[in-house]
Amino acid sequence: MSTPRGPYAKTSAKREKILEAALAAYAEAGSRKVSVRDIAKRVGMTDAGVLHHFGSREALLTAVLQARDAAARAAHGSAADDLRAGLDIVTHNASTPGLVKLFVDVAAAAAETDHPAHAFFEERYADGRRGLAEQLDRHARDPEAPHAPEPVTPVDPEWAARILLAATDGLQLQWLLEPDIDMAADLAALYGVLMEALRERA
């Protein structure tokens, strides 16, 4: 537990500092660009110094996202194990536009096979899908499980439209990493389910 070894713990103190600075930089940046130089200034170093610890800008940003995931898990639990935690994380994300922007940026860039975050995102989605599917399955079989969380958002056409558009965009992200996904088929099924729900509440 003390003075951890291995490639990921080598420079843990400084790495930690840099990650914090990067996190802060992105949080403050709203949705503007952040350069390695910017981050370096915050820790009182040069860009080369920062890169020394991470190898490249992209690797650094990947590490930021990993740190963000770890922090979220520490605070709320794993979304893959607990749906409630997932919603809490989303709620929390809504207070940090800069980091959401970072996530979206890197997720897009990670479609490149040789991007440092490529494997990270592949795993993230694979794990997320596995965990979520398991939870959904368990809850669906368990009559004790809540039928649905408090419906803050009404199930209405506007909501369904947002969801349909969101699912379209999000599936593209997953599909770029995992081309086996049949986007149109998945969306058609979603359309069917949404329609059914709309009719039910009408």
Contact residues for DNA, defined by CB under 7 A:
10-11, 14, 33, 35-37, 40, 44-53, 55-58
Among positive and negative, which fits the CA dihedral 103, 106, 111, 117? negative
Task: With beta carbons less than 8 A apart as the criterion, state whether 165 and 172 touch.
Answer: no
Instruction: Copy the structure tokens of residue 173.
Output: 């992200």
Question: For its own copies, which residue of 31, 35, 46, 56 counts as binding (CB under 8 A)?
Answer: 31
Complex with its own copies: residue 9 or 133, whichever CB lies closer: 133
**Under the criterion CB under 8 A, does residue 39 sit at the interface with its own copies?**
no
Binding-site partner at residue 56 among its own copies, DNA, none, CB < 5 to 8 Å by type = DNA
Which of the choices its own copies, DNA, none does residue 126 contact, using the CB cut-off of 5 to 8 A by kind?
none
> Residue 9's binding partner, choosing from its own copies, DNA, none, with beta-carbon cut-off 5 to 8 A by kind?
none
Q: Which does 127 bind (CB under 5 to 8 A by kind): DNA, its own copies, none?
A: none
Site residues (CB under 8 A) for its own copies, limited to 104-123? 104-105, 107-109, 111-113
CB of 159 to its own copies, least distance (A): 6
* CA gap 22, 89 in Å, rounded: 20
Residues 124-183 within binding reach of its own copies (CB under 8 A): 125, 128-134, 136-137, 139-141, 147-155, 157-176, 179, 181-183
* Distance (Å, whole) CA 159 – CA 184: 20
Instruction: Decide: is 194 part of the binding site for its own copies (CB under 8 A).
Output: yes
- CA distance readout (Å), 66 to 9, 69, 179, 188: 14, 5, 24, 33
Residue pair 44/65 in contact (Cβ under 8 Å)? The answer is: no
- Return d(Cα 111, Cα 186) in angstroms, integer: 20
